[in-house]
Amino acid sequence: MKRLLLDRKMYVEFGLAAVLFAANILLTIFMPYLTEHKRYYDSGAYITVLAIAFVIYVFGVHITRKKSTSDIAVVVFAFFAVWETAYKTGTVKNDLLIPSPEGLFHVFVEKPEEIWLDVLGSLQLLFWGFFLAILFGTLLGLLAGWIPRIREVLLPISNVITLIPPLMFSAYLIMVFATFREAAIAVIFFAVFWPTFQGTVARVSQIDRAVIEAARTMGVGTLGMLGKVILPYCLPGIIRSISKSLRGAFMCLTGAEMLGINLGVGYFIEKYKSFADYRCVLAGIVTVGVITTVIDILVNKAEKTLIRWEE
């Protein structure tokens, strides 16, 4: 059966989103500035972004087949149309704090290399801190989940530590570590390690006794139990928790970068804040949003391919 690009029922919503998209393009190209003293930026980058957003929306509505997808597109495009109109008519008084959408997205054309390097830097820090935290948090969690004596020591301790917001001790960690890189990795590590540990312990204790007993009757020893039974049993839960902790880790990272690490998107935002270049600050914030979303999507994809069994 040939699948239509759209269900017939969704024509109205799709039409509305498409009209708003077209309106945005027309506004950008043809609407004159009704006020003087306005900064002018080339609209190429902004139009590209609008076009990309529209393409993503069309794909999205094709996959999800939901009216709400169209509703989201309508809200987003309406927001941009209002923003553009408000700016060009001069309703926005302080154009330093609130740039035009053209101006905002033009940053990506002006400083592509700087943004790219900062994104890469952030991702590198994120990868190492996150990777190490998941690895050790899971290992220790499996061990503590399986051996009551270890659990009864570590769980109360972790309960106290996780009550302290990670950003609170990141300022201190930045002082302790020799380089900013290490400090940032440590911040992420501590932000992710304990929650991962606790989640793993909880999952191990929820394992079906019958499964454990079956493994024991087959002569599986302690190491085999951890590696061949408990780990695979808990893996879906661990992977599912990754997307959640990844979000937290990225928030911590950008936070830590703003606190003093001279690398990454957070640093980018902090730097341009001190230059009072809020156009760049906003561009940095948008970048963080885009990266987080992309990571989220990738992790969800990985989750679906890795977990083939469900209880």
Which stretches of the chain bind another protein, using CB under 8 A?
Answer: 208, 210-211, 213-220, 228-229, 232-233, 235-236, 308-311
Scan for tokens 């990868």, then name that residue.
127
Q: How far is the CB of 207 from another protein (least distance, A)?
A: 10
Helices (H), the chain: 11-30, 44-64, 67-89, 101-110, 112-146, 148-161, 166-176, 180-205, 209-217, 222-224, 231-259, 264-274, 278-306
Q: How far is the CB of 299 from another protein (least distance, A)?
A: 20
Q: How far is the CB of 230 from another protein (least distance, A)?
A: 11
Q: How far is the CB of 241 from another protein (least distance, A)?
A: 17
Residue 36 or 310 having the CB closest to another protein: 310
Q: Please check whether residue 6 is in contact with residue 14, taking contact to mean a CB–CB distance below 8 angstroms.
A: yes
Residue 113 or 311 having the CB closest to another protein: 311
Backbone angles phi, psi at 5, to 5 degrees: -60, -35
Q: How far is the CB of 245 from another protein (least distance, A)?
A: 22
Residue 211 or 294 having the CB closest to another protein: 211
Residue 187 or 226 having the CB closest to another protein: 226
Q: Please check whether residue 22 is in contact with residue 79, taking contact to mean a CB–CB distance below 8 angstroms.
A: no
Residue 235 or 291 having the CB closest to another protein: 235
Q: Please check whether residue 102 is in contact with residue 79, taking contact to mean a CB–CB distance below 8 angstroms.
A: no
Nearest to 50 by CA among 75, 24, 27: 24
* DSSP reduced 3-state for 97: coil
Scan for tokens 């499964």, then name that residue.
211
Q: Please check whether residue 224 is in contact with residue 214, taking contact to mean a CB–CB distance below 8 angstroms.
A: no
DSSP annotation of 62 reads: H
Q: How far is the CB of 203 from another protein (least distance, A)?
A: 13
Residue 217 or 305 having the CB closest to another protein: 217
